[in-house]
Structure 1
Amino acid sequence: MHLSDRTWTDAADAETDLAVLPVGSTEQHGPHAPLGTDVLTAEAVADAGAERYDGEVVVAPAIPVGVAEEHRQFSGTLWVSEETFRSYVRETVASLAAHGWDRVVLVNGHGGNVAALREVAGRIVRRDDAYAVPFTWFESVGEHAADMGHGGPLETAVLRAVAPELVREDRVEDAREGASDGWGEWQSGVNLAFDSAEFTENGVVGDPEAGDAERGDELLELGADALAALLDAIEERDLSRPDRR
């Protein structure tokens, strides 16, 4: 059940305590992919996982702005501080829990959100009347995960599968030519670069041409299976505090 297209009376009839909250970012993804890529992919995986799950689950509207200052040099990128982001996620989860949807999966589409989501989920579980875990879709796709870049093969593949009209196919070659092979500038296990503009000319990491629609369909299937299995585990999980068991 998608909250955005239901009435409050529909929501009141929901017989579940499970919810998924897509979380993305509005940021550059090279010259060929839209600024909303991380939102679109998070929503696509959330939808596919909710459909695959054998039971009812509430799908909340996506959070569209995240921790993305590392892309600040590229026009259109929006960002908030980690503190603001964590507070927004925490309060959104609290509002879901107030309606009885207190087991929440944060379906994430942006690497810059990962650390903040893990921290805030822990705070929610320890201090609030809810349970939340982060699920970053591109970490759940098996061997494909090694190819995750930025505006590269995985994100481009999912876009080609779910919103092909948003991929500027005439700019893919330019995206390839200005891309870097990997994320960051590494020395002694340390990433010396804080901003993506330091190591990629046009914001792309990886080869977008390696992500066709067929691969996108496979990624969605893998992500959906993983999310459905996670929802099963959370629905069955004992959420009482360890010191009270």
Structure 2
Amino acid sequence: MTNFFAFDELTWPEVEELARNTPLVIPLGTGYAMGRLVEALGNPERIGLLPPLPFGWRASGISVPENLLSAVLQNLSNSLKEDGFTSVWYLIPQNLELELNNRITLPHPSQFRPAPALPADADRSKVVLIPIGHTEQHGFHLPLSTDTLIIEAIAQGMVTQIPHQAVSLPVWPYGVSTHRQAFAGTLNCGGRAFEDLWLAVIDHLVGRGFDQFYLISGHGGNCSFLVNVIKYAGERHRRIFCATAWLYLSGKEGAEAISRLRQSPIGGMGHAGELETSLMLHLRPDLTRMELVVDETDFIATPNYYMDWYEGGALIANPPWDDDTATGAYGAGSLANAEKGKQWLEAAIREKVCHVQEIQEQHRRREQRRNAGYGLWSGEKLKPKKTPDN
């Protein structure tokens, strides 16, 4: 009998130990007859299932052009092949003609009953939360799904607190990594493909009447690309308000919560350190292996370039990840505990709720100004006034 395992629940050393001919499958959605997948792959002993894409294809609730979706999928597959895996497959609904090799097409529920629109049309007045995680290594002790699980919990907490102001898309489990060569299991959508995908999602939603968006990320590598997305989206759709922010717990309240509870010095929260490990101990203690934690705080720091919860200083750089870590972690995971994780999650939700309210205020006040005919919004070209010569 074939054993299925969740690829993103592994740690990177466990990915490193996988036989390179293990079939790995990237599904579009869920609900397939898995017995037919087993048959299509020749009844292997094990099959690794990667996180399913929650939307993006026809009848999935949100659709984007198929060439953009294909580019993202191809980049994810290439990440696995670069790690040496030789049996990487896409599992897609039968009615799609994506430009992909190694695809397995099976009947899917969306062929027979299209998924409801995401979000529902009744939510047009709300801010659309777009939570984006990633599948990447988090040291010896945390799973590849860490970023996805954390940002999903934050988005769910936001909607629970302000259901009349925000609605969330399903969490997207893949992002951008420009430092994936050192440690196994880190995937990469590709920066340009990632930007094109999210611009297409916003195009789709604007076409349905949505006009307020908040792209939130659990993975630092996504953030610079999301800045590009919101800049292009704002220029393309002049009457929307589309925003992003650096990760979470990065504003005033978040910084205060971190400072109040942290035990590690600067450098203890870079990656898979005290903060993320605490959050995971609160959210998924079953996937957090404290007995395997290795603290690493020997980042090559200078006054204008150092690593903590976010990169600090005036310099922006991308040196090889393994210059500063032998295990994939930057930080002091051994200082983590679930109570700190609970309090930091609550603070992250409060911070993001305030952002939603500010997005709504910004959109409302800008629409009022536009509708009042401010400046060029009046439809008339302004001319400089001539002043008399002195």
Q: TM-score by structure 1 length? A: 0.85
Q: 1:27-82: per-residue Cα shift (whole Å, max 9, x none)?
A: 11001001111111111111112222262422102222212121332111001322
- In the alignment, which residue of structure 2 is the partner of 1:66? 175
d(CA) in 1 for partners of 2:292 and 2:242? 39
d(CA) in 2 for partners of 1:63 and 1:233? 24
Distance 1:74 1:16, change over 3 A: same
Matched, 1:244 2:377: yes
The one-letter code of the counterpart of 1:138 is L
| SS state at 1:70 partner | coil
- In the alignment, which residue of structure 1 is the partner of 2:241? 131
- In the alignment, which residue of structure 2 is the partner of 1:55? 164
Matched, 1:79 2:191: no
- In the alignment, which residue of structure 1 is the partner of 2:116? 8
The one-letter code of the counterpart of 2:218 is G
- In the alignment, which residue of structure 1 is the partner of 2:275? 154
Distance 1:131 1:199, change over 3 A: same
Paired residues in the alignment total 238
Matched, 1:92 2:201: yes
Could you tell me how far 1:15 is from its partner in structure 2?
5.5
More helix by share: 1
Contact 2:277–2:336 (8 Å) recurs in 1: yes
Distance 1:8 1:210, change over 3 A: same
Could you tell me how far 1:236 is from its partner in structure 2?
2.2
Matched, 1:218 2:343: yes
Distance 1:234 1:24, change over 3 A: same
Could you tell me how far 1:98 is from its partner in structure 2?
3.0
Distance 1:243 1:219, change over 3 A: farther
| SS state at 2:189 partner | coil
Contact 1:24–1:63 (8 Å) recurs in 2: yes
Gaps of 5+ in 1: none
Distance 1:181 1:222, change over 3 A: farther
Residues 86-235 of structure 1 mapped to structure 2, 5 A cutoff:
86-128=195-237, 130-135=240-245, 136-140=247-251, 141-143=254-256, 144=258, 148-172=269-293, 175-176=294-295, 179-182=296-299, 186=302, 189=305, 190=315, 194-235=319-360
| SS state at 1:65 partner | coil
Could you tell me how far 1:181 is from its partner in structure 2?
3.9
Q: 2:134 aligns with which of 25, 50, 55?
A: 25
Q: TM-score by structure 2 length? A: 0.55
Could you tell me how far 1:84 is from its partner in structure 2?
1.3
The one-letter code of the counterpart of 1:46 is A
- In the alignment, which residue of structure 2 is the partner of 1:45? 154
Higher-RCO chain (CA-CA 8 Å, sequence separation at least 6): 1
d(CA) in 2 for partners of 1:52 and 1:73? 40
Could you tell me how far 1:96 is from its partner in structure 2?
2.8
| SS state at 1:202 partner | coil
Could you tell me how far 1:95 is from its partner in structure 2?
2.4
| SS state at 2:319 partner | coil
Percent of residue pairs bearing the same amino acid type: 27
The one-letter code of the counterpart of 2:348 is G
Gaps of 5+ in 2: 1-53, 56-60, 62-114, 260-265, 306-314, 379-390
| SS state at 1:221 partner | helix
| SS state at 1:106 partner | strand
